[in-house]
Amino acid sequence: MPEPAVSVVVPTRGRAGYLATALASITAQRLDAEFELLVVDDGCGDETARAAAAAGVARERTRTRGLNGARNTGIAATTAPLIAFVDDDVRVPPGWLAAIVEGAGRHPEAEAFAGPIRPSLEGPAPRSCGREAPPITTLDLGPEDRETDIAWGANLIVRRSAVERIGAFDPDIPFYGDEADWVQRLRAAGGRVAYLAAAGLDHRRTGADARLRALARAEYRRGRNARRSGVRKGTAPSLARELRDLCGAGWHTAHRRCPLGIAMAAHSLGRLTEALRGQ
């Protein structure tokens, strides 16, 4: 068998419905080269195993829980010089992998790559006034390739040589910012990160997950985790700033009559709650 040009690693835990859609879109890629696809199961459900088997995809189990532990398992179990990490709740267009391989060739100086992450709220999603960011991880740095220091794990590609040079992902970071730590270490060691404008994908919330209550709960957790990450890195804003941001989110929700602003306010409330716990 020819050596794969890229390895796609999909960490997952207990979300077989999302995973099935992700795997169907990845296996349908149009690429004039071989690629390998691996599901790294950080849970214990048989449904995940069935979803991987139905797609004809290899599956690994992790012993260390957490996204970074799963990413490291994927690195060790694959062989390609490029490793593309995606979340289990994405859907990729048919040319996604081709854009990655071509982009890596255009930017030989880069050791990691970030692709656009487009929000896709499917089903009974709440109305938005259009002024606030969607309550889901997104990335849009424009229509052209560029150097960046921002890269999110929902669409993160790294050269295997970069992992060998600076080390694996830190499994002791179990919350928000887990992939950011690796990117920061790469940048500190002189590595460069390129944004590949053509290598975008959709980041999905569907069914009950797209309802306002679920989005707000998820944003509250993300807010708490974001605050913890900021404290760890020494970049957390003051308590007064967190309170002002919460008041601003509340004002936005009421003044703009924006239901989705409730999710934004939940994020700020999570940050403020964590800040108060740290006093």
User: Could you tell me the pLDDT band of residue 174, with boundaries at 50, 70 and 90?
Assistant: low
> In terms of DSSP H, where are the helices of the chain?
16-27, 46-54, 67-77, 96-106, 160-166, 178-188, 212-233, 239-255, 261-277
4 touches 34 (CB < 8 A): yes
Q: Mean pLDDT for the chain?
A: 92
CA nearest 159: which of 6, 39, 4?
6
**Beta sheet of 117-121, edge-to-edge order:** 90-91, 201-205, 117-121
Q: Average pLDDT of 156-183?
A: 89
Q: What is the pLDDT of residue 267?
A: 94
User: Could you tell me the pLDDT band of residue 177, with boundaries at 50, 70 and 90?
Assistant: low
Q: What is the pLDDT of residue 111?
A: 98
Residue entry with tokens 């656009």: 116
Question: Is the pLDDT at 176 greater than 90, yes or no?
Answer: no
Q: What is the pLDDT of residue 43?
A: 76
CATH 3.40.720.10 fits 6-205, yes or no: no
Q: Average pLDDT of 266-279?
A: 91
Question: pLDDT tens digits, residue range 5-15?
Answer: 999 999 998 89
CB burial of residue 197 (10 Å; 0-12, 13-18, 19+): middle
Q: What is the pLDDT of residue 118?
A: 96
> Domain-by-domain residue ranges, the chain?
6-205, 211-277
**CA separation for the pair 41, 86 (Å, rounded):** 13
Least confident of 15-24, 87-96, 175-184: 175-184
Dmax (CA) of the chain: 61
Q: What is the pLDDT of residue 1?
A: 65
Q: Average pLDDT of 255-259?
A: 90
